């Protein structure tokens, strides 16, 4: 993982306000990295960062927007993780409401775990993530060896 990281930002509808507030607070830490977001979250983050950059006379970064989560955005992020294209995941999910794409949410969190992607699911864990000295350094996460699983015998 390079010093300039690819950071995936996702928030369910009831957590988008939290994400916007978090991005507003941490925008200086985020603007030097590549940001990739699911649909509506990406639009809100772009508006927020553009506004913060304008106020502070800075050039806003490009923000990559995928599809909305329920339309496949979570799966797009999962695929990007599998391909080694995501370094960090900040996912403010709503623990109080079922989502129409709950299976996709679970799959995204599972893939992030399989590939040992640092994942923050609350504002406090996201704050700890961006304030870590590792956030600005090169870092190589250890990956579990799944060779045994890949080469396992399957009876048919």
Query: How does strand 88-92 pair with strand 63-65?
Result: unpaired
Q: Which of 123, 79, 84, 127 is nearest to 104 (CA)?
A: 79
Report whether pLDDT(25) > 90: yes
| 9-21 tens-digit pLDDT | 999 999 999 999 9
Residue 102: active-site member: no
Question: How far is Cα 15 from Cα 56, in angstroms, rounded to an integer?
Answer: 26
Is 16 known to sit in a ligand binding site?
Answer: yes
| 98-118 tens-digit pLDDT | 777 778 889 999 999 999 999
Q: Which of 57, 74, 102, 138 is catalytic?
A: 74
Q: Which domains are assigned to the chain?
A: 10-151 (3.40.50.1380)
Q: For the full predicted model, state whether its pTM sits above 0.85.
A: yes
| 30-85 tens-digit pLDDT | 999 999 999 999 999 999 999 999 999 999 999 999 999 889 999 999 999 999 99
Question: How far is Cα 11 from Cα 17, in angstroms, rounded to an integer?
Answer: 9
Average pLDDT over the chain reads 93
């Amino acid at each position: 993982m390079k010093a300039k990281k690819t950071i995936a930002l996702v928030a369910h509808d009831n957590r988008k306000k939290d994400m916007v507030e978090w991005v507003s607070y941490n925008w200086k830490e985020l603007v030097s990295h590549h940001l990739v977001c699911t649909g509506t979250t990406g639009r809100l983050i772009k508006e927020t960062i553009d506004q913060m950059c304008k106020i502070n006379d800075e050039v806003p970064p490009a923000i990559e927007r995928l599809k909305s989560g329920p339309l496949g955005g979570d799966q797009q992020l999962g695929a990007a993780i599998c391909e080694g294209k995501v370094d960090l995941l900040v996912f403010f999910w709503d623990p109080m409401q079922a989502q129409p794409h709950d299976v996709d949410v679970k799959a995204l969190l599972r893939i992030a775990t399989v590939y040992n992607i640092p994942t923050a699911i609350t504002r406090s864990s996201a704050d700890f993530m961006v304030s870590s000295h590792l956030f600005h350094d090169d870092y190589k996460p250890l990956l579990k060896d799944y060779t045994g699983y890949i080469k396992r015998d399957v009876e048919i």
